[in-house]
Chain A
Amino acid sequence: MAVNRVVITGRGAVSPLGIGVAELIEAVWQGRSGVKLMDEWRQIKGMRALTAAPVPKTDAKSLLPRSMRRTMGDMAIHATLAAREAVEDAGLSADLLGSGRVGVAIGSTTGSPAAYETFYEKFLAERSIEELKSGFFFKIMSHSCAANVCLALGITGEQWSPASACSSSAQAMGLGYMLIKSGRQDVVLCGGADEVHHSVTMVFDVLKAASRNHAQPLVTPRPFDIDRDGVVCGGGGGILVLESLEGAEARGAKIHGEILGFGHINDCSHIANPHSNSMSAAMRAALQEAGVAGSEIDYVNAHATGTPQGDIAEAGAILKTVGSKVPVSSFKGHIGHTLGAAGALETIIMLEIMHRQEIIPTLNLENPDPQCGAIALPREIVPRKIDLMIKNNFALGGVNTSLVFQRWH
Chain B
Amino acid sequence: MLTDKEIQQRITEVISEEFELEPSRLVPGATLYDDLGLDSLDAVDMVVALEKSFGIKLANEEAIKAVRTMDDLCRLIINLKKEN
Contacts and interface: CB of A to CB of B under 8 A. Distances in A.
B44 A134 contact: yes
A370 interface: no
B35 interface: no
Using C-beta atoms within 8 Å of the partner chain, give the interface range for chain B: 10 to 19
B6 interface: no
* Main secondary structure on A side of the interface with B: loop
Contacts of B44: 133-134
A71 B41 CA distance: 10
A67 B51 CA distance: 21
A59 interface: no
Given A66-B19, A66-B20, A133 B37 contact: no
Nearest to B52: A131
Contacts of A132: 48
Interface string A63-87: 0001100110000000000000000
B22 interface: no
Contact of B41 (A61, A130, A134): A134
Nearest to A61: B20
A309 to B, nearest CB: 45
B55 to A, nearest CB: 12
B20 A135 contact: no
Contacts of A130: 48, 51
Interface residues of A, number: 11
Interface in A291-340: none
A70 B48 contact: no
Nearest to A71: B41
Interface string B36-63: 0100011011001001100000000000
Given A66-B19, A66-B20, A134 B52 contact: no
Contacts of B45: 70, 133-135
B42 to A, nearest CB: 7
Contacts of B41: 70-71, 134-135
A61 B19 CA distance: 12
B7 to A, nearest CB: 21
Contact of A131 (B19, B20, B48): B48
B37 to A, nearest CB: 7
A130 B48 CA distance: 7
A62 to B, nearest CB: 11
B82 to A, nearest CB: 23
A131 B50 CA distance: 10
B58 to A, nearest CB: 11
B34 to A, nearest CB: 15
Contacts of A135: 41, 45
Nearest to A67: B37
Contacts of A71: 41
Nearest to A66: B20
Contact of B48 (A61, A66, A67, A133): A133
A70 B41 CA distance: 9
Contacts of A61: 20
Interface string A228-260: 000000000000000000000000000000000
Contacts of A131: 48, 51-52
Contacts of A134: 41-42, 44-45
A133 B46 CA distance: 9
A141 to B, nearest CB: 14
A134 B19 CA distance: 13
User: Which has the most chain B C-beta neighbours within 10 Å: A66, A130, A131, A134?
Assistant: A134
A71 B44 CA distance: 13
Interface string B10-24: 000000000110000
5 contacts: A66-B20, A130-B48, A132-B48, A134-B42, A135-B41
Given A70-B41, A132-B48, 12 more contacts: A61-B20, A66-B19, A66-B20, A70-B45, A71-B41, A130-B48, A130-B51, A131-B48, A131-B51, A133-B48, A134-B44, A134-B45
Can you list the 6 inter-chain pairs with the closest CB atoms, starting with the nearest?
Answer: A134-B44, A134-B41, A66-B20, A134-B45, A133-B45, A131-B48
